[in-house]
Amino acid sequence: MASSSCGGGSDRQMAAQHRLSIIAGHLQRPSGSNTAILAAECKAQASKPFVSSERRTVPRRRQEIMKWNGWGYSDSKFVYNKKGQAEFTGRRYKLSGMIIPGLKDWMENTFGATLQHKTTATPALNSSAVPPPTLNEAFMEELKSTGIPFSADAEDRVFRAHGHCLHEIFALREGKIGRVPDMVVWPNCHNDVVKIVELACKHNVCLIPYGGGTSVSSALECPPEESRSIVSLDTSQMNRILWIDEKNLTAHVEAGIIGQDLENLLNESGYCTGHEPDSMEFSSLGGWVATRASGMKKNIYGNIEDLVIHIKMVTPQGVIEKSCQGPRMSTGPDIHHFIMGSEGTLGVITEVTMKIRPVPEYQKYGSVVFPNFEQGVACLREVARQRCAPASIRLMDNEQFKFGHALKPQVSSIFTSFLDGLKKFYITKFKGFDPNRLCVATLLFEGDREKVLQHEKQVYDIAAKFGGLAAGEDNGQRGYMLTFVIAYLRDLGMDYYVIGESFETSVPWDRVLDICRNVKARIVYECKDKGVQFPPLSTCRVTQTYDAGACVYFYFAFNYRGLGDPVHVYEQVEHAAREEILANGGSLSHHHGVGKLRKEWMRETVSSVGMGMLQSVKDYVDPKNIFGSRNLL
Amino acid sequence: MASKVVYSPRDPMLKKRDDFEDVLEERRRSSDLRYALRCYTPVLYKGLTPCKASELKTMVLGSDQLHYVVNQVSRESGVSVDEVQAEASVILEEMAQRLQLSTIRFFAFTLSKVFKAMFRSICVNEEGLQRLQQVIQEHPVVLLPSHRSYMDFLLMSYILYTYDLPLPVIAAGMDFMGMKVVGEMLRMSGAFFIRRSFGGDKLYWAVFSEYVKTMLRNGFAPLEFFLEGTRSRTAKSLTPKLGLLNIAMDPFLKGEVFDVSLVPVSISYERVLEETLYARELLGVPKPKESTSGLFKARRVLSEDYGSIHVYFGPPVSVRSLAEGRVNRSQFSLVPRHIPMRPSEDVHGFVNDAAYRLVRAQEDNMVLKPWVLLASLLLQNQAAGKNQGVPLGELIQQAVWLRDLCRQFGAFLHWPDHVPPSEVVSSSLSLHSGLVRVSEDRVFLALEQGFLTAEEELLSQAVVVLSCASYRNQVLHVFLRPALLASAIHTASSSQKRKAPPPLSWLRFPLLTRVCDFEEACYLLTKSGALHVNQHEVLATERGHRTLAFLTGVLDPFLQGYQVRLVCRFLCEDATEALTERRFVPAVREFIIKHLLKGRLRYPEVLSSDLQRNALAALLRLGAVQKVQGCVCFAHLYVLHMDAFPF
């Protein structure tokens, strides 16, 4: 076993012992829990982790700091205060504790959602509503002997039975619980995972890897037809940076680490990965690899496939990894590409070597206002053509511009509000922009101060050719801040009969405008057709630029008062919208993945032969379907 | 078995049809000048990119689509790109419309005068126009009127102007351009001119299709064209032409617009301006070339009474909903959209089906006047050898019977119920005094006699018969399916001398091959009480005899026409091995005249070149005839097959 196979000093063992006792202190459990904490040494610790992470963001009992039926931290949410003004609670974000005066009117005007019509979510999980676990006794016995912590507690299981699709959260709010995992295990290192997978194979237990739980593709849903015991393998405790190689600028990291911890820890050493998906507060490195994630700043740092140097994955057939860390290889099809996007169907990603970069010297936000969306897209296309895209460039359409406006926190001084008024006057009256057509691009530049300023000028010059006006750093920064709080807003909407979600695609440049127009129109059309009583919000933004195309994000929400089965209507509309995307030359997904939500379109997306290839890999790697999430195929 | 497929009764009688408003009524009461100069502010498409007609040309010439083809043509022909581009510019110049409000106002004024002089009323369904108004704001619109007269597109624009709707751009045949001043006037009222055939000319096609698509995409104006391509000389719907429809659907299929709305419009004339002209043309007198002076000579038509016109704007058909589940639009994802591609099999099939559907929508909403029933009856009486005419009373009684049958079959019949039938009949007869005579209370077709040669007499009589037939044809779509069944029953029971009624499966062969058509025929005949259908057979009822006889009579001239083709086979084989297509029609005509004079054929209608061309097309389709280097010859392999043909 691990403790005997790897040698090590007693110092290290003591340190591990000490650390575990601290963690055990954090995780005081009610008595009678199934969890057992043992100080078993992990192979991964054979060399001292480069950066140890005592300050974990994600405890095993996630529900202690995170909502069980909504997005993010329990202490952070939008509420209407006593005066009827919207407010964002908590202290974690820039927006926290601020009043957002425009939000209430925006909600009323956009959705017809008023304070009078409120729905209340089930406040706490009713454990009796959770089906009792189907436990595989033999598996459990052997697992116990390994000392890997596990739990069959209802709250733990429910928390890992869902991602953040609308239907998943909606059901939780209603207190409806479907098939949930029967058990949760928390491996502490690669070797723990090897043991768990071996045991799962031996006892024919179904494993579903769980990273950050931010999936929006129904990938974490337990297949209702699964009769075996389902074990959720929570990687959150595998969250160490094992080493940093400053010569090659790489870091070897355990795959359970979540984005913000990874960045923070690397920052301490003066590095970053630069991989910042919108979910980076909660999503995990393993999850990124398993879904082919994309980060906001991919223009500088690349998407996950560009960042990854080496991957270790535990499969029922054993561990898969490459033998070296060469930056590029011509050794047949890249096996990493079987792993990236496998969505938990082949195994558990345990360790990843990633590229790192020195933390940039200088960061600058910016924004540009365009008279209309067409001009904005033309500008982004030109920026991509000249390959001078800043770290991030995003173009919001008019509806999102207004939405962003509605989320402006209360300004503190008369001077600021006067300045805002002046800006507005300049743009709409002096420059003649139609407030109902104009749109805004937000920018983020990174690098040497000199170069950033030079780069900034280049981009603004291009923008000017397309009628764009620089609109200040504040607007840009607020745009990016919204990325993190927008997910919280859905919970507020759900309190007032508004449901919605976002979905994305990638599309060649010449179809960007067409797809945006048609998908938005299709959403409106389908809502009307399905009997939605209020006009929906149907909006989009271009969030990434590539040489040959762009990534487009759609936001869609509506007031469901008067509908018998709002979730069904929602799903029908989303389905139609996806059909429209595909009909207009868009892809099935740019970075959310397929999961079970978009599975039905996989065959037409990759062709029957393609499906056969993927299937044969699955059949070889996991013949007993131990990783039985049934995603993708 | 066909009987297992349940025909869902599409009972048109139950369908609420809109009420009509007379456009001319207002014109007769108020000033035409004020009307022509009034404030005209049509509703516009919400996605409209405002631009002038001249800017359109720049957009077309600068488009990727055109650049691609220009380069291609230049490469293939060795002519420099600039020259090809210049050629494209000339083509566009020749084609483009120059819609101008002042010309519209001029037309509004003059047409008011003309229409008031010629027509009793121009009736329009206002609900249809309201639907149109809404849909114009939502999506690019394509207007698809039926085409029975030159009048059609003037009338359309006139009505749209009257109702404050945007004026359409109209695809017109190049022949109009020959009319000096008028051609330019039409251009300024929104007509754009296209050559009748440009099969292989890539550049022309590119300019043309890009021009149409640009107007559609930008929502410049509703696009109007005639699905049938040309005026139907026989009042039967023509086989729809797919080219323009293909172009009009393309922006939707390629995702350039969210949807395109197709609006079928049915225009029916109580008396068609060109009635005898058409008949002459069908008999081989070529169509006079359009010329301005010709138009002025036609001034005398102004003094005649042409009754009323009914224009029905049908419910808009969304291309999106038509294509739902039929066309996989992602097939266009793999090739840049500006590269011209031959439509794939499924797209072609889809456009074809859509075209037929639209033509049927036109037919369904075509208002039928009492005269078309009278024409049907008179022709049948004529053929039955009653040269001495029908007693008026009998005709009225027959007409009332036929009216009721029509209504049972769901025809859109405009028979004024508050007027006694005798008045309805006599008013119709007087409007068509050129074709019918009433003397001594008997009604005759106005067949003139006393010609030098029998052939001349035959031809002059054929003119009248064919004119009448063109009215009868208006009601053909109502009777067609039941009539095919009736004929099949008739043939089955008479030729085979069988006592037992024919089995259902046999009746479906060969004309009602589509199950739904057969089911519809069965349904209508059962409903009217003419047939009794059970599991395995159909039985004619006692009182159904009259219906079946009438229906058989409706089809008889056509069947005889097709039979003549068979007879003609021998002629062709005797005379020459192959005939050129151009010589085909005259040769067959001569042959038919011979037989008519000998009394071997009953219907002068079979002289119609339309019938002959259709027959040829059918034989080509069946593979019984082949086209070899522009010549028509018989595929001998199929001779046996043709003998097995039941008619």
Q: Quick check: helix, strand or coil at residue A284?
A: strand
What's the gap in Å between the CA of B82 and the closest CA on chain A?
Answer: 26
State the Rg of chain A over Cα. 25
Q: Which one, of A367, A570, A560, lies nearest residue A470 by Cα?
A: A367
Instruction: Output phi, psi for A153, to 5 deg.
Output: -65, 140
CB contact under 8 Å between B258 and A604, yes or no, is: no
Among A517, A521, A582, beta carbon nearest to B330: A582
CB atoms within 10 A of CB B167: 23
Helix/strand/coil (H/E/C) assignment for every residue in A477-503: HHHHHHHHHHHHHHHHHHHCCEEEEEE
pLDDT interval class at B578 (50, 70, 90): low
Q: Which one, of A381, A389, A383, lies nearest residue A445 by Cα?
A: A389
Q: Is A210 annotated for ligand binding? A: yes
| ipTM confidence score | 0.85
Handedness of CA A324, A326, A332, A335 (dihedral sign): positive
CB contact under 8 Å between A584 and B256, yes or no, is: no
What's the rounded mean pLDDT across residues B474-479? 89
Burial of B446 (0-12, 13-18, 19+ CB in 10 A): middle
Give the tokens for residue A488. 């919280």
Torsion angle, CA of A211/A214/A217/A223, rounded to 10 degrees? 50
- The predicted pLDDT at position A521 comes to 95
Among A511, A525, A604, beta carbon nearest to B255: A511
What's the gap in Å between the CA of B331 and the closest CA on chain A?
Answer: 8
- The predicted pLDDT at position B562 comes to 74
Q: Which one, of B231, B265, B259, B228, lies nearest residue B245 by Cα?
A: B228
pLDDT digits (tens, 9 = 90+) for A396-436: 999 998 888 888 888 766 666 666 776 777 777 777 788 88
Q: Which one, of A187, A233, A188, lies nearest residue A206 by Cα?
A: A233
Instruction: With both helix axes pointing from N to C terminus, report the angle between B101-118 and B180-188 in degrees, rounded to the nearest 10.
Output: 110
Q: Which one, of A108, A213, A193, A214, lies nearest residue A143 by Cα?
A: A193
Distance from C-alpha of B323 to C-alpha of B350, rounded to nearest angstrom: 7
Please indicate if any CB of chain B lies within 8 Å of the CB of A451. no
Predicted TM-score of the model (pTM)? 0.87
Distances from the Cα of B418 to the Cαs of A243, B270, B414, B421, B424, in angstroms?
98, 19, 12, 9, 10
Please indicate if any CB of chain B lies within 8 Å of the CB of A511. yes
Q: Is A213 annotated for ligand binding? A: yes
**Which chain B residues have a beta carbon less than 8 Å from that of A509?**
none
CB contact under 8 Å between B330 and A585, yes or no, is: yes
- The predicted pLDDT at position B3 comes to 37
Higher per-residue confidence, B607 vs A569: A569
Residues 576-615 on A with a CB inside 8 Å of B are: 582-585, 604
> Which residues lie across from A498 on neighbouring strands?
A559
Provide DSSP, B382-418. HHTT-TT-EEHHHHHHHHHHHHHHHHHTT--B---TT
What's the gap in Å between the CA of B243 and the closest CA on chain A?
Answer: 23
Distance from C-alpha of B66 to C-alpha of B212, rounded to nearest angstrom: 13
Polymer length in residues for chain B: 647
What's the rounded mean pLDDT across residues B96-103? 88
- The predicted pLDDT at position B502 comes to 55
Higher per-residue confidence, B291 vs A33: B291
CB contact under 8 Å between B255 and A521, yes or no, is: no
Give the tokens for residue B381. 């009486």
Would you say domain B562-644 falls under CATH 1.10.10?
yes
- The predicted pLDDT at position B291 comes to 61
Domains and CATH numbers, chain A: 127-236 (3.30.43.10), 241-358 (3.30.465.10), 361-482 (3.30.70.3450)
**Which chain A residues have a beta carbon less than 8 Å from that of B330?**
582-583, 585, 604
**What b/e sequence results for A458-482 when a residue is b if at least 16 CB atoms lie within 10 Å of its CB, and e otherwise?**
ebeebbeebbbbbbbebbbbbbbbb
Among B255, B256, B337, beta carbon nearest to A583: B255
Q: Which residue of B has its CA nearest to A525?
A: B258
Best mutation target, B256, B321, B333, to test chain A (most A CBs within 10 A)? B333
What's the gap in Å between the CA of A581 and the closest CA on chain B?
Answer: 9
pLDDT interval class at B209 (50, 70, 90): very high
Give the tokens for residue B313. 């704007």
CB contact under 8 Å between B258 and A517, yes or no, is: yes
Polymer length in residues for chain A: 633
CB contact under 8 Å between A583 and B336, yes or no, is: no
Among A518, A525, A604, beta carbon nearest to B255: A518
Give the tokens for residue A451. 């170069």
Best mutation target, A584, A587, A606, A607, to test chain B (most B CBs within 10 A)? A584
CB contact under 8 Å between B330 and A515, yes or no, is: no
Q: Is A468 annotated for ligand binding? A: no
Distance from C-alpha of A632 to C-alpha of A602, rounded to nearest angstrom: 7
Q: Mean pLDDT lowest for which of A563-572, B127-136, B472-481, B493-502?
A: B493-502
Q: Which residue of A has its CA nearest to B254?
A: A584
Residue ranges for chain A with pLDDT beneath 50 = 1-9, 24-41, 43-47, 51-53
Angle at CA B98, nearest 5°, toward B92 and B100? 175
CATH number assigned to the domain with residue range B476-558, chosen from the 4 options 1.10.10.10, 3.30.390.30, 1.10.645.10, 2.60.300.12: 1.10.10.10
Helix/strand/coil (H/E/C) assignment for every residue in A494-548: HHCCEEEEEEEEEEEHHHHHHHHHHHHHHHHHHHHHCCCCCCCEEEEEEEEECCC
Is pLDDT of B456 > 60? yes
Q: Mean pLDDT lowest for which of A30-39, B54-63, B230-239, B510-519?
A: A30-39
- The predicted pLDDT at position B459 comes to 83
Higher per-residue confidence, B534 vs A312: A312
Is pLDDT of B647 > 50? no
Please indicate if any CB of chain B lies within 8 Å of the CB of A548. no
Please indicate if any CB of chain B lies within 8 Å of the CB of A482. no
What's the gap in Å between the CA of B329 and the closest CA on chain A?
Answer: 5
**Which chain A residues have a beta carbon less than 8 Å from that of B255?**
511, 514-515, 518, 583-585
Q: Is A122 annotated for ligand binding? A: no
Active site residues of A: 553
Distance from C-alpha of A378 to C-alpha of A396, rounded to nearest angstrom: 13
Q: Which residue of A has its CA nearest to B217?
A: A514
What's the gap in Å between the CA of B102 and the closest CA on chain A?
Answer: 32
- The predicted pLDDT at position B645 comes to 41
Contact residues of B toward A, CB < 8 A: 255-256, 258, 328-330, 332-333, 336-337
Residue contacts between A and B (CB atoms, under 8 Å): 24
Higher per-residue confidence, B100 vs A191: A191
Is pLDDT of B635 > 60? no
**Which chain B residues have a beta carbon less than 8 Å from that of A525?**
258
CB contact under 8 Å between B332 and A585, yes or no, is: yes
- The predicted pLDDT at position A187 comes to 96
**Which chain A residues have a beta carbon less than 8 Å from that of B328?**
583
Distances from the Cα of B7 to the Cαs of B408, B502, B520, B524, in angstroms?
17, 20, 6, 10
Instruction: With both helix axes pointing from N to C terminus, report the angle between B454-472 and B581-597 in degrees, rounded to the nearest 10.
Output: 110
Q: Which DSSP category does A603 fall into?
A: H
What's the gap in Å between the CA of B247 and the closest CA on chain A?
Answer: 18
Q: Which stretches of A135-243 are DSSP H helices?
A: 137-146, 154-159, 166-173, 190-203
Is pLDDT of B7 > 60? no
- The predicted pLDDT at position A39 comes to 42
What's the gap in Å between the CA of A547 and the closest CA on chain B?
Answer: 16
**Which chain B residues have a beta carbon less than 8 Å from that of A604?**
330
Best mutation target, A372, A373, A509, A517, to test chain B (most B CBs within 10 A)? A517
* Average pLDDT taken over every residue of chain B: 82
pLDDT interval class at B263 (50, 70, 90): very high
- The predicted pLDDT at position A25 comes to 47
Among A525, A585, A604, beta carbon nearest to B255: A585
> Which residues lie across from A86 on neighbouring strands?
A80, A100
State the Rg of chain B over Cα. 26
- The predicted pLDDT at position A56 comes to 66
pLDDT digits (tens, 9 = 90+) for B309-349: 999 999 999 999 999 999 999 999 999 999 988 889 999 99
pLDDT digits (tens, 9 = 90+) for A128-142: 889 999 999 999 999
CATH architecture of B49-364: 3-Layer(aba) Sandwich (3.40)
- The predicted pLDDT at position B641 comes to 40
Is pLDDT of B114 > 60? yes
Among A525, A584, A604, beta carbon nearest to B255: A584
Distance from C-alpha of B111 to C-alpha of B114, rounded to nearest angstrom: 5
Is pLDDT of B12 > 50? no
- The predicted pLDDT at position B52 comes to 81
Q: Which one, of A179, A289, A140, lies nearest residue A630 by Cα?
A: A179
- For A40: left if phi > 0, alpha if psi spans -120 to 50, otherwise beta; the answer is beta
The full set of domain ranges for chain B reads 49-364, 370-468, 476-558, 562-644
Instruction: With both helix axes pointing from N to C terminus, report the angle between B370-383 and B544-575 in degrees, rounded to the nearest 10.
Output: 60
Place of tokens 């237990």: A205
Is pLDDT of B155 > 70? yes
CB atoms within 10 A of CB A618: 18
Distance from C-alpha of A250 to C-alpha of A355, rounded to nearest angstrom: 4
Distance from C-alpha of A376 to C-alpha of A398, rounded to nearest angstrom: 11
**Which chain B residues have a beta carbon less than 8 Å from that of A585?**
255, 330, 332-333
**What b/e sequence results for A558-573 when a residue is b if at least 16 CB atoms lie within 10 Å of its CB, and e otherwise?**
bbbbebeebbebbeeb
Q: Which residue of B has its CA nearest to A523?
A: B258
Q: Which one, of A593, A594, A500, lies nearest residue A539 by Cα?
A: A500
Q: Which residue of A has its CA nearest to B333?
A: A585
Instruction: Answer yes or no: same fold for B49-364 and B562-644.
Output: no
- The predicted pLDDT at position A42 comes to 56
Sheet with A78-80: list strands edge to edge: A78-80, A86-88, A99-100
